[in-house]
Amino acid sequence: MMALVIAHRGASGYAPENTMPAFEKALDMGTEGIELDVHMTADGEIVVIHDHTIDRTSNGKGLVKTFTLDQIKEFDFGSWFNPGFRGIKIPTLGEVLELLKDWEGLLNIEIKSGPIFYEGIEDKLIDMIKEYNFEDRVIFSSFNHYSLRDLKAIAPSVEIGLLYMAGLVEPYQYAKSLGAEALHPLYYNIVPELVEGCKRNGIKLNPFTVNDIKEIEMIMAAGVDGIITDYPDRALSVKGN
Ligand code: G3P
Ligand code: MG
């Protein structure tokens, strides 16, 4: 069984990250999963964006949490990537769930938590995935494991994946202690001992972000469960899809 291909921020190698065109492109390529990042606006709307400011990926400046949804929707989130995407707006999570409602892939929602913390975001996210019937095809991830622990307490059957960067020893033991179903390490940390330990302990391994075709081949061959990439077409072609 080869790794599930998960499009990082959509097909972000080809369209502005975390926008509808990036998600549509990933679907067109036949992606098997989609990863996206979430923050919260001043009026409590969940929006899909990587950074806690809009500076890098829009024509505006400021913290996401200082704008209402109407205000943040005024900015252009496409031109920075390519002028052909001018006028593309920031999506809400609801808009993305609507786009994906008939798709059968895995949605990985990464909760961005720190340096800005969003009070009550875990409750809101669980309400939304229930409303759109995503409970069985979603995995929440975060570098903030406190946030994932809170989410698991609210909805024990919803899967969580622990993001991390370092070469942790036996992190599957830690994953089990939190009731996590998966580990989401930076891909440099994929070594046989980790892959085998995860398999033995029933913990899935979904490394990020693997873009080079040779590295995609290596990481797939290592026996991981999912592969998070900006280029889902490359990973699909390695699988022979
Ligand atoms: O979820 C995998 C990956 O997205 C984690 O890092 O910074 O790209 O959100 P980042
Ligand atoms: Mg992410």
Whether the CB of 228 sits within 6 Å of ligand 1: yes
Q: Is CATH 3.40.50.300 the classification given to domain 4-240?
A: no
pTM of the model: 0.98
The one-digit pLDDT tens for each residue of the chain (241 residues) are: 699 999 999 999 999 999 999 999 999 999 999 999 999 999 999 999 999 999 999 999 999 999 999 999 999 999 999 999 999 999 999 999 999 999 999 999 999 999 999 999 999 999 999 999 999 999 999 999 999 999 999 999 999 999 999 999 999 999 999 999 999 999 999 999 999 999 999 999 999 999 999 999 999 999 999 999 999 999 999 999 7
Our mutation pick for probing the ligand 1 site, out of 4, 6, 8, counting the most ligand atoms within 8 A of Cβ, is 8
* CA–CA gap between residue 169 and residue 189 (Å, rounded): 10
C-alpha 18 to ligand 1 mean position (Å)? 11
Question: What is the CA(141)–ligand 1 centre distance, in A?
Answer: 9
Would you say the CB of residue 7 lies under 6 angstroms from ligand 1? no
Pairwise CA distance, residues 149 & 180, whole Å: 9
Q: Which residues pair with 182 in a beta bridge?
A: 161, 204
Q: What is the C-alpha to C-alpha distance for residues 89 and 138, in angstroms, rounded to an integer?
A: 24
pLDDT value at residue 241: 78
Identify which ligand lies nearest to the alpha carbon of 141: 1
50 within ligand 1 shell (Cβ under 6 A): yes
Tokens representing 78 are 């496409």
CB 40 within 8 A of CB 51: no
The pLDDT of residue 212? 98
Tell me if residue 145 is catalytic: no
**Where are the domains positioned within the chain?**
4-240
* Residue 52 appears among annotated catalytic residues: no
Counting atoms of ligand 1 from 1, which one is nearest the CA of 112?
A: 9
